[in-house]
Chains A and B, each alone.
Chain A
Amino acid sequence: MPIDIDIAHVARLARLALDSDELERYRTQLGVILEHAARVQEIDTAGVEPTSHPLGFTNAFRSDEVAPSLDRDEVLAAAPDARDGYFVVPPALDQR
């Protein structure tokens, strides 16, 4: 089964600014891998429930208690750009 991949759309969803050569290379590689991965479609799974997790338990909670937060200076020291206690990023597309 030939697998159709709109690689530019996928790269956009994944926020990866790839050029057209890169896109083409990944499209080819994904095609090969997906062809192998598509073997999962060869087995009859009618009536089979999906497993998203190997664990069988439920309800892991924490109680509603406040724990210490991080030191802001330490947090912002790791940021590529920060000002006046805020992280700073360029404007969003719809804000321009």
Chain B
Amino acid sequence: MSHADLTILEAGAKLRAGELTSVQLVEDVLERAALTEAELHCYLHIDHGGARATAVAADRELRDGFDRGPLHGIPVAVKDNFCTRGIPTTCSSQILAGYRPPYDATAVARLRDAGAVLVGKTNLDEFAMGSSTENSAFGPSRNPWDPERVPGGSSGGSAAAVAVGSALGGFGSDTGGSIRQPASLTGVVGVKPTYGLVSRYGLVAFASSLDQIGPLARTVGDAVVLLSAVAGHDPSDATSYRGEVPDFGSELTLGVEGVRIGIVREFSGEGYEPAVAAAVADMVARLEEEGAKATELSLPTMALSLSAYYLIAPAECSANLARFDGVRYGLRVEGETVEEMMGRTRAEGFGPEVTRRILLGTYALSAGYYDAFYGQAQKVRTLVLEDFARAYSQVDVLVTPTSPTTAFRLGAKTQDPLSMYLSDVCTIPSNLAGHPAVSVPVGLDDSGLPIGFQVMAPALGEATMFRVAAEVERLAGFTSRPGLVAA
């Protein structure tokens, strides 16, 4: 067996027992990438030299008795919208082709401090806008369970890399489900933490009030380790949470006896694949058998979340992406005047989905439409928060499918933006509320594609969320590996 198939906790134990070196581990991971990249295209850039050098240093430190903690010597992948000093950071966009930032994102700096080995930068939908990783200017990523299908998105590259073993852990960003949905479609664990728990400094912004960095991992335990390494106050991010970081793993082994679980009625019915609905219902039944108390709840504004999201996120994105103008970095398409230069640079540099959202957001904020669209969406956001507050007065966590469907075929939704947007219907509400949520794989459908189960919790409710997720993981016993590496 290749060490690329170890979990982070397993690999860490071997490293400390002297049964494995970080160098061997990294070589196995790079070899796995070499075998799978041509088909899957998880990475936009693999930093072979940097990864090997870090592994050598990590081994030396461990030999010298300097242990940086559970990520010491562990190869991880980060989405290519995290700034990495001197390493290409493109957000899968032509407008940033070849761009090398002069600084590290806070999350990247913390991973380095934690001793993690940065394997490379993973593919994404351009500027994290999309649910399939097909909107990458550098070509789509593919699903290791079936390369004819998408890995989900926008963090599809990180999800597929973790699923296939070209990294032991990965990081993505989640604005409307961009970590959880690809985790669901590739059979890994994906976490969107409470807004503000992980610094956004150096994460290229899509929608600032919704974006949150989080981990992708093969197990809940690994996800906790990855999240713990990057969470915590950062003075460079004014929206960073200032309180004590919760001990995410403190309840992992408690089981679900007495835990109150809410099933959201609105996340079922039309558009939900029967296999997905059945897997979720089955898991709820098994949690009840373990002593959880399940209640069906109605959160009526959930139905409006998607509409509100597709006004708020584009509005923020229209401003966040204004800085890509050909003046200080990135692509420039020449013009007679600076206005012409900017207009051409942006028209050529952005792909269709990004252009669409910029136009949408500009419209929603423009004079005469603000109140009816953006302003109204912000009020709906308030109602979503109130709905959640009511629900959490009755239950500890809410559970739903992560995505209404399993992985779809490449090209199936590219011509119909709205149908693509609908694949985020279950994940968006947590972003609007700033709440944490996790997707845990619970089984395969008839085509052998993974199904994800989402556990949502109130702000800073990660410990309880992981408690339930760990039990879901144990009950599901999901040990299948994608066809590509199962042999």
- Indicate if the CB atoms of B347 and A41 lie closer than 8 Å: no
Which B305-343 residues have a C-beta within 8 angstroms of A? 306-308, 310-311, 318, 322, 325-332, 334-343
Q: How far, in angstroms, from A42 to B301 measured CA to CA in the complex? A: 11
Contacts of B346 in A (CB 8 A): 14-17
Range, interface on chain B: 35 or more
Determine if A51 and B382 form an interchain contact, defined as CB atoms under 8 angstroms apart: yes
A41 in contact with B363 given A50-B381, A51-B381 (CB within 8 Å): no
B417 within 8 A of A: yes
B209 at the interface (CB under 8 A from A): yes
Contact stretch, chosen from B137-145, B235-243, B443-451? B235-243
How many Å lie between the Cα of A10 and that of B362 in the bound state? Answer: 6
Is B356's beta carbon under 8 Å from chain A?
yes
Is the pair B304, A39 in contact by a Cβ cutoff of 8 Å? yes
> Could you give, for residues 53-73 of chain A, a 1 whenever the CB lies within 8 Å of some chain B CB and a 0 otherwise?
111010010100000001100
A11 interface neighbour in B329, B337, B359, Cβ under 8 Å: B359
- A13 & B362 in contact (Cβ 8 Å cutoff): yes
Please name all residues of chain B whose beta carbon is closer than 8 Å to the beta carbon of A70 when the two chains form the complex.
102-103
**B242 proximity list for chain A (CB < 8 A):** 57, 60
From A17, A43, A53, A96, contact of B304 by CB (8 A)? A43
> A91 an interface residue at 8 Å Cβ cutoff?
yes
Select which of B195, B322, B418, B459 is within 8 A of A32 by beta carbon.
Answer: B418
Find out whether the CB atom of A93 lies under 8 angstroms from the CB atom of B363: no
Q: Which of A22, A79, A93 contacts B329 (CB 8 A)?
A: A79
Known: A14-B358, A18-B347, A54-B432. A90 touches B310 (CB 8 A): no
Chain A nearest CB from B57 CB (Å) reads 24
Q: Is the CB of A16 within 8 A of B343?
A: yes
Whether B355 contacts A16 by the Cβ 8 Å rule is yes
With CB as the reference atom, state the residue of chain B lying closest to A7.
B359
Q: How far is the CB of A49 from the nearest CB of chain B, in Å?
A: 6
Known interface pairs A15-B339, A50-B381, A90-B334. Does A55 touch B360 (Cβ–Cβ under 8 Å)? no
- Hey, which bits of chain A sit against chain B, CB under 8 A? 5, 7, 9-11, 13-18, 22, 26, 29-30, 32-34, 36-43, 45, 48-55, 57, 60, 62, 70-71, 74-75, 78-81, 87, 89-93, 96
Question: Hey, which bits of chain B sit against chain A, CB under 8 A?
Answer: 99-100, 102-103, 195-196, 209, 235, 238-242, 301, 303-304, 306-308, 310-311, 318, 322, 325-332, 334-344, 346-347, 350, 355-356, 358-360, 362-364, 366, 372-373, 375-383, 385, 417-418, 421, 432-435, 459
With A79-B327, A80-B332 known, 17 other A-B pairs at CB within 8 A are: A7-B359, A17-B344, A17-B346, A30-B359, A36-B310, A40-B307, A40-B308, A40-B311, A40-B377, A51-B378, A54-B195, A60-B240, A75-B102, A78-B329, A79-B328, A89-B341, A90-B336
Provide 20 A-B residue pairs closer than 8 Å at the C-beta atoms, listed in order of the A residue.
Answer: A14-B362, A16-B350, A16-B359, A17-B347, A33-B310, A33-B421, A37-B308, A40-B311, A43-B304, A48-B383, A50-B382, A53-B239, A54-B209, A54-B433, A60-B242, A79-B327, A80-B330, A87-B327, A93-B337, A93-B338
